[in-house]
């Protein structure tokens, strides 16, 4: 599979993604049955995960979306991210942040800190993918769909230069030496 100048190979098939989402949804259905959680999806990457997770929620719940704006820094990990688009009142709400992927953990940490200042009752994170080897800041991820090695992936909401978000499966960058 090609996107622009890069080759990708199938990594996580749709069936496995959906099974992981059903498991995570089951855990949230159990843990939050009496708490009317407010899901906060992080655009753009988490839109597909958010949609499929919601289809598996069997308890009262709500959803809203935010976006993070990265300011150009010297390094990806040094970027300052500002949270934009939070229109929902989250005071006294049980918030579950929905992320497509946690890599260094900086994004999730920043969003959590900024949401915290709006006084929610609680904040937990649900991420579809997690790269434990890349984690650079202490982060508590309450719900993790699939742990993956420290490799670049696309598909199922995740992009390469804006492309590939539409793919139903997740692909990994092909080792250029084996092309």
Binding ligand 5GP (rule: CB under 6 A), the pick from 9, 89, 121, 152 is 152
Q: Which stretch binds ligand 5GP (CB under 6 A): 10-18, 32-40, 54-62, 147-155?
A: 147-155
Known catalytic residue at 100: no
Binding Mg ion (rule: CB under 5 A), the pick from 45, 120, 157, 164 is 45
Binding ligand 5GP (rule: CB under 6 A), the pick from 21, 24, 40, 45 is 45
CB of 149 to Mg ion, least distance (A): 18
- In 3D space, the residue among 30, 36, 29 whose CA is nearest the CA of residue 121 turns out to be 36
Q: Look at residue 93 and give its three-state secondary structure.
A: coil
- In 3D space, the residue among 16, 14, 34, 49 whose CA is nearest the CA of residue 126 turns out to be 49
Q: Look at residue 95 and give its three-state secondary structure.
A: strand
The DSSP annotation for 62-89 comes to EEEEEEEEEPP-SSGGG--EEEE---S-
Footprint of ligand 5GP on 11-40 (CB under 6 A): none
Q: Which stretch binds ligand 5GP (CB under 6 A): 2-10, 12-20, 88-96, 101-109?
A: 101-109
> Which pair of tokens denotes residue 16?
């496995």
For ligand 5GP, the closer CB: 90 or 104 = 104
| DSSP secondary structure code for residue 163 in this structure | B
Q: How far is CA 27 from CA 24, 32, 146, 173, in A?
A: 5, 8, 14, 31
Does 106 help bind ligand 5GP (rule: CB under 6 A)? yes
Cα first-last separation, the chain: 12
State the catalytic residue, choosing from 103, 159, 169, 175.
Answer: 103
For ligand 5GP, the closer CB: 35 or 142 = 142
Binding site for Mg ion (CB under 5 A): 42, 45, 100
Annotated catalytic residues are 103
Binding site for ligand 5GP (CB under 6 A): 45, 99-107, 152-154, 158-159
């Amino acid at each position: 599979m090609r996107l622009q100048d890069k080759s990708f190979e199938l990594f996580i098939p749709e069936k496995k993604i959906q099974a992981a989402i059903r498991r995570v949804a089951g855990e949230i259905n159990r843990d939050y049955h009496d708490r009317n959680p407010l899901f906060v999806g992080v655009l753009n990457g988490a839109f597909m995960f958010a949609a499929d997770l919601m289809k598996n929620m069997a308890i009262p719940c709500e959803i809203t979306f935010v976006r993070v704006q990265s300011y150009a820094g010297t390094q990806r990990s040094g970027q300052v991210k500002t949270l934009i688009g939070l229109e929902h009142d989250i005071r006294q709400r049980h918030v579950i942040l929905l992320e497509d992927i946690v890599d260094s953990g900086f994004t999730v940490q920043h969003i959590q800190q900024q949401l915290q200042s709006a006084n929610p009752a609680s904040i937990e994170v649900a991420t579809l993918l997690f790269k434990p080897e890349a984690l650079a800041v202490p982060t508590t991820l309450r719900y993790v769909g699939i742990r993956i090695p420290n490799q670049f992936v696309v598909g199922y909401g995740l992009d390469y230069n804006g492309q590939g978000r539409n793919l139903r499966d997740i692909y990994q960058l092909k080792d250029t030496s084996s092309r």
